[in-house]
Amino acid sequence: MIRGALLEIVGLPEATKNDAVEGEDATTEESKESSVNGGKDSEVPTVMNLKQWLNEKLDSSIPVGWIDVEPSEGKAIIRFKQPDTAEKAWAKLKEAFGDSPVTYLNSELSGRVMSNLNKENS
């Protein structure tokens, strides 16, 4: 487990798919699908859309390792590739929204950095 690399976000829309996406291969695969579908799914809250949204908001400066979404709870666990980056990523997300709450597809999000101990017990 990478220290300080897990971020839990809560408040996702219910339609988010329960998938885990890893690395660049998944991004490439999803991009191919979007091209084939003509990008019609851009408003559907999938794990890949969440990852793209994160990359846009973080200016791709903090690489995402994987995202695991729990749609029934409206939350996602995001693992970043570098140690001690989850807190920086959440701060950068809040900064991107200024005085407004962090929102994804019109849903207000809250976030917390997960320690290794919390992850093992959840």
- Confidence (pLDDT) at 6: 96
Domains in the chain: ranges and CATH = 6-121 (3.30.70.330)
What is the chain's mean pLDDT, rounded?
78
Dihedrals phi, psi of 87, to nearest 5 degrees? -65, -40
Name the band, by pLDDT with cuts 50, 70 and 90, for residue 2: confident
Which residues, in sequence order, are CB contacts of 107 under 8 Å at separation 6+? 11, 12, 13, 74
- 3-class DSSP state of 84: coil
What percentage of the chain reaches a pLDDT higher than 90?
56
Name the band, by pLDDT with cuts 50, 70 and 90, for residue 94: very high
How far is it, in rounded angstroms, from Cα 96 to Cα 103? 10
pLDDT mean over 100-114: 95
Residue 20 near residue 46 (C-beta atoms within 8 A): no
- Confidence (pLDDT) at 116: 57
How far is it, in rounded angstroms, from Cα 13 to Cα 67? 15
Q: Please state the pTM of the whole predicted model.
A: 0.71
Tell me the per-residue pLDDT of 4-63, one tens digit each, with 9 for 90 and over. 899 999 999 876 444 555 554 444 344 444 433 444 444 555 789 999 999 999 998 999
A 10 A CB-CB count for 17 gives 14
How far is it, in rounded angstroms, from Cα 11 to Cα 20? 18
Task: Kindly tell me the sign of the dihedral angle through the C-alpha atoms of 93, 79, 42, 16.
Answer: negative
Strand order, beta sheet including 6-10: 20-22, 64-70, 75-80, 6-10, 110-114
